[in-house]
Amino acid sequence: MKKGRFSSATLLLSFVLSACTGGENPTGTSTVQGDASGSRLEVVKGRGTLICGINGDVPGFSFVNEQGEYSGIDVDLCRAIAAALFDDPSKIEFRPVSAQERFTAVQAGEVDVLSRNTTWTLNRDTAVGMEFGPTIFYDGQGMMTAKASGITQLKNLEGKSVCVLAGTTTEQNLADRMRKEGVKNYNPVVSDNDDALYAAYEQGRCEAVTSDRSKLVARQSILSKPDEHVLLDVVMSKEPLGPVVANGDSAWYDAVKWITYTLIQAEEFGITSQNLSTFENSQDPNIRRFLGLDEKLGEDMELPNDFASRIIKHVGNYGEIYDRNIGKPFALERDLNNLWTNGGLLYSPPFR
């Protein structure tokens, strides 16, 4: 009786062992090629799918919608790259990466591109060994208060409490800025996560709450009385967010960079996913070059010549992406994230 029990248990052990370490799944083990054997661009094309590192839980940037698909502005950038390479925005493996492992994941080749609300800083660009693509979202730290509190500038916070996320650059920025403004007595109320942070604010445990402006606006819309709160007209830090690839792979970096610029340039030309077909007979030489009707801009960087029209067809231009993910759901003004022609910072170098 006992013998049978134990022999089958031993079998069980050996089978499970072989199943989990053997990697019966063909995608289980795949080769990661170093820089020497070619650019990542070739690796991605050869693989047929793009591996995109995302955050997974930032409103407007990357989250799971009801259909069980990732969605958000970071996610749409990944889709644009896949659309340019494969003419199919679904050929992506999304890989949620934590804040700690994100740069390691890029260096080890775990992800091809990191589109994970990552701030472009000197240190990350140089010492950490990353290469930053064009900024797709200019964020900055802001401050929200109740209208009734009478606080209109940071100086008014003397002796007041401010809710802030623990252990982030936000906390550091707040301290720096307050010292600069000469506010000596303020009481930071720290919380561990966003939900706790805004719950504390709503319960009145602090007079003001500070975080990235995009987050503040998103959260304001779900407070019990959104109209009674207001964002102060201060930007306490610069947070340019954009795609990241590994250092030392110029071909892949160029591809990601120009795919990102395509989104901006398309908006500048006024080409959207809706009206794309009307531009096919355009006489404007700039637009003809951009859409790959004349000359061969795509080939210069080993992309198909119609990469721009593929992107616009599947994902839309920057304005469409912004409206879909941030503008409509949160009613956040474009401000800095507008085209340079409309007073923003988005500016694409010429496509020629």
Q: Interface residues with other proteins (CB under 8 A)?
A: 1-6, 8-13, 15-17, 19-21, 23-32, 34, 56-60, 62-70, 93, 95-98, 100-101, 104-105, 107-110, 195, 198, 218-219, 221-222, 329-330
Q: Are 317 and 334 in contact (CB under 8 A)?
A: no
CA torsion, points 302, 303, 304, 310, in degrees to nearest 10? 180
Q: Widest CA span of the chain, in angstroms?
A: 86
Least distance in Å: CB of 230 to other proteins?
Answer: 19
| Nearest CB to other proteins, comparing residues 8 and 126 | 8
Least distance in Å: CB of 333 to other proteins?
Answer: 16
| Nearest CB to other proteins, comparing residues 37 and 281 | 37
Burial zone of 271 (CB within 10 Å; 0-12 exposed, 13-18 middle, 19+ buried):
buried
Distance CA 247, CA 116 (A): 17
| Nearest CB to other proteins, comparing residues 6 and 352 | 6
Show the CA angle centred on residue 215, arms to residues 95 and 153, nearest 5°: 150
Q: Are 94 and 75 in contact (CB under 8 A)?
A: yes
Backbone angles phi, psi at 125, to 5 degrees: -70, -30
| Nearest CB to other proteins, comparing residues 17 and 345 | 17
| Nearest CB to other proteins, comparing residues 173 and 325 | 325
Residue with tokens 């721009």: 308
Least distance in Å: CB of 38 to other proteins?
Answer: 14
Least distance in Å: CB of 175 to other proteins?
Answer: 26
| Nearest CB to other proteins, comparing residues 65 and 172 | 65
| Nearest CB to other proteins, comparing residues 228 and 284 | 228
Residue with tokens 């003419």: 87
Least distance in Å: CB of 282 to other proteins?
Answer: 36
Residue with tokens 């080409």: 271
Least distance in Å: CB of 346 to other proteins?
Answer: 23
Least distance in Å: CB of 12 to other proteins?
Answer: 4
Residue with tokens 């995302």: 54
Provide the strand spans (E) within the chain. Answer: 50-54, 63-64, 70-71, 92-96, 113-114, 130-132, 137-139, 141-146, 161-165, 187-191, 208-212, 229-231, 239-241, 244-246
